[in-house]
Amino acid sequence: MSHHFHLSSSVLPLSFFPGELGARFSPAEPRHLASSVGVAAASPSRALRPHMAKAVAKEVGAQEAAQGSAALGWAARDASGVLSPFDFSRRAQKDDDVTIKVLYCGICHTDLYTIKNEWGTAMYPVVPGHEILGVVTSVGSGVSKFKAGDTVGVGYFVGSCRSCESCGNGYENYCSSMVLTSNGIDPEHGGAVTQGGFSDVMLVNEDYVVRVPDGLPLDKAAPLLCAGVTVYSPMMRFGLNAPGKHLGVVGLGGLGHVAVKFGKAFGMRVTVISTSPGKREEALERLGADEFLVSRDPEQMQAAVGTMDGILDTVSAWHPISPLFALMKPMGQMVFVGGPTKPLELPAYAIVPGGKGIAGNCVGGMRDCQAMLEFAAKHGITAEVEVIKMDYVNTALERLAKNDVRYRFVIDIAGSLGSTS
Ligand SMILES: [Zn+2]
Ligand SMILES: [Zn+2]
């Protein structure tokens, strides 16, 4: 239900960017770059890796790969999206880098879209994963925020330009040069293709790492790095965090269920709006929502008209939205975090008479992500997860495609990655 997606200049289909960005991400370029990642994609054994990595590095001038350390991940090699073990090299640790042993990594719908090349952007091999929770094993000499032994998280991006208006305002997530954690192009590191958290080790510039407060269970906290901040950030941005306000949450999946928890922790009245009557008990009793509306029931919807201060719509399947706007009070705020591919229909009458607002949101900046984790720790907010072993990942991805998960898969990377290859 809630397969949200993350917009960025490097994620959208090329057709979205007929101009500069389209040219920048021309189909030929990713193909070239994919071969320059400094990895031995077909390496049959880890023993061969140093030799092969050196050969690739010489070919493309990727010095960092040659000096870097061995890494093991699971990668998709083609649009089947099937993952299998993959030996590659992480870059050598730089002065401002944090080296992280990955403990857990959540599985997000964006991973599914990317590995199946549904946005036409995959640069195979792709190691997915951007809900990364781990422990620092070493830091570069210039790192001031972290030390070995710290519990840390990495989310949807690992770099940005640092100089644009968005970066200056703490919204690196809207930087046009944001570097995706997985399947991104990293200009600061030789244009290498980034590989995500379905792997044993990550190297990330310290400015794109968050501290995980004590008290959060690590497996259940991993999805907060993407799903959590995706709902928390717009709640802060639009004042949907005040006690007594009424929040609607459309869709009860990976995003929706944490939105309910944040809303309740903010002291809000929270109503879940869903097409599935069967989720009522779960929403009210397990997640603590105050009310549950079946969106296909006109009487229930009518009874709630004009009652909500804002709505977070997490649904990525096409759905009628006019009735949702009717649920909001005058000047209510709608926020879309899902991404239906077919355009939604917005008649002017749905927003003009009530002066209603409409916005999109894609994950959140580093500041919001850190604040979100601290708020979550203080209020005991975590995702509901199904923890899996690495070798179950392909089954999990199939189940995720059918929304057959309550509510997030999290891979026990440290506990199962090495043992399955
Ligand atoms: Zn995500
Ligand atoms: Zn920027």
Q: How confident is the model at residue 339 (pLDDT cuts 50, 70, 90)?
A: confident
The number of the ligand nearest the C-alpha atom of 222 reads 1
Higher pLDDT, 376 or 27: 376
The confidence score (pLDDT) of residue 209 equals 98
Centre of ligand 2 from the C-alpha of residue 369, in Å: 17
The number of the ligand nearest the C-alpha atom of 160 reads 2
Asked if 81 contacts 46 with a C-beta cutoff of 8 angstroms, the reply is no
The number of the ligand nearest the C-alpha atom of 178 reads 2
Residues 57 and 197 in one domain: yes
Of the residues 360, 377, 395, which one is the last residue of a structural domain? 360
The confidence score (pLDDT) of residue 23 equals 30
Centre of ligand 2 from the C-alpha of residue 186, in Å: 13
Query: Mean pLDDT, the chain, as a whole number?
Result: 87
Residues 314 and 329 in one domain: yes
* Domain residue limits at 75: 14-225+385-420
With respect to residue 5, please indicate whether it lies within any of the assigned structural domains: no
Centre of ligand 2 from the C-alpha of residue 165, in Å: 7
Centre of ligand 1 from the C-alpha of residue 227, in Å: 6
Tokens matching residue 309: 């201060």
Check pLDDT > 90 for residue 53: no
Centre of ligand 1 from the C-alpha of residue 109, in Å: 6
Centre of ligand 2 from the C-alpha of residue 346, in Å: 31
Centre of ligand 1 from the C-alpha of residue 230, in Å: 8
The number of the ligand nearest the C-alpha atom of 169 reads 2
The confidence score (pLDDT) of residue 6 equals 54
The number of the ligand nearest the C-alpha atom of 107 reads 1
Centre of ligand 2 from the C-alpha of residue 168, in Å: 7
Residues 40 and 123 in one domain: yes
Residues 164 and 272 in one domain: no
With respect to residue 245, please indicate whether it lies within any of the assigned structural domains: yes
The number of the ligand nearest the C-alpha atom of 164 reads 2
Q: How confident is the model at residue 399 (pLDDT cuts 50, 70, 90)?
A: very high
Percent of the chain residues past pLDDT 70, beyond the cut? 83
The confidence score (pLDDT) of residue 316 equals 86
Centre of ligand 1 from the C-alpha of residue 322, in Å: 27
With respect to residue 77, please indicate whether it lies within any of the assigned structural domains: yes
The number of the ligand nearest the C-alpha atom of 228 reads 1
pLDDT digits (tens, 9 = 90+) for 168-189: 999 999 999 999 999 999 999 9
Higher pLDDT, 401 or 50: 401
66-75, 268-277, 398-407: lowest mean pLDDT where? 66-75
User: How far does CA 171 lie from the centroid of its chain?
Assistant: 15
Centre of ligand 2 from the C-alpha of residue 382, in Å: 30
Instruction: Please count the structural domains in the chain.
Output: 2
Residues 213 and 352 in one domain: no
Compute, in degrees rounded to 10, the torsion defined by CA atoms 311, 314, 315, 321: 20
The sign of the dihedral angle between the CA atoms of 160, 163, 169, 174 is: negative
Q: Which residue, 396, 113, 374, 128, is CA-closest to 228?
A: 374
Check pLDDT > 70 for residue 98: yes
User: How far does CA 170 lie from the centroid of its chain?
Assistant: 17
Higher pLDDT, 248 or 68: 248
The number of the ligand nearest the C-alpha atom of 109 reads 1
Check pLDDT > 90 for residue 139: yes
State the CATH number of the domain containing residue 171.
3.90.180.10
Residue 76 to residue 171: CA distance in whole angstroms = 30
With respect to residue 143, please indicate whether it lies within any of the assigned structural domains: yes
With respect to residue 271, please indicate whether it lies within any of the assigned structural domains: yes
The number of the ligand nearest the C-alpha atom of 173 reads 2
The number of the ligand nearest the C-alpha atom of 161 reads 2
Residues 187 and 211 in one domain: yes
pLDDT digits (tens, 9 = 90+) for 266-313: 999 999 999 999 999 999 999 999 999 999 999 999 999 999 999 999
Residues 63 and 114 in one domain: yes
36-45, 112-121, 283-292, 391-400: lowest mean pLDDT where? 36-45
pLDDT digits (tens, 9 = 90+) for 28-49: 333 333 333 434 333 334 333 4
Q: How confident is the model at residue 20 (pLDDT cuts 50, 70, 90)?
A: very low
Centre of ligand 2 from the C-alpha of residue 207, in Å: 13
For the residues 355-362, what does the mean pLDDT come to? 97
State the CATH number of the domain containing residue 300.
3.40.50.720
Angle between helices 254-265 and 227-237 (to 10 degrees): 50
**Helices marked H in 238-365 — which ranges?**
254-265, 280-281, 298-303, 322-326
The number of the ligand nearest the C-alpha atom of 157 reads 1
Residue 108 to residue 131: CA distance in whole angstroms = 8
Residues 117 and 253 in one domain: no
Between vectors from CA 100 to CA 46 and to CA 225, what angle results, nearest 5°? 120
Centre of ligand 1 from the C-alpha of residue 72, in Å: 21
The confidence score (pLDDT) of residue 119 equals 87
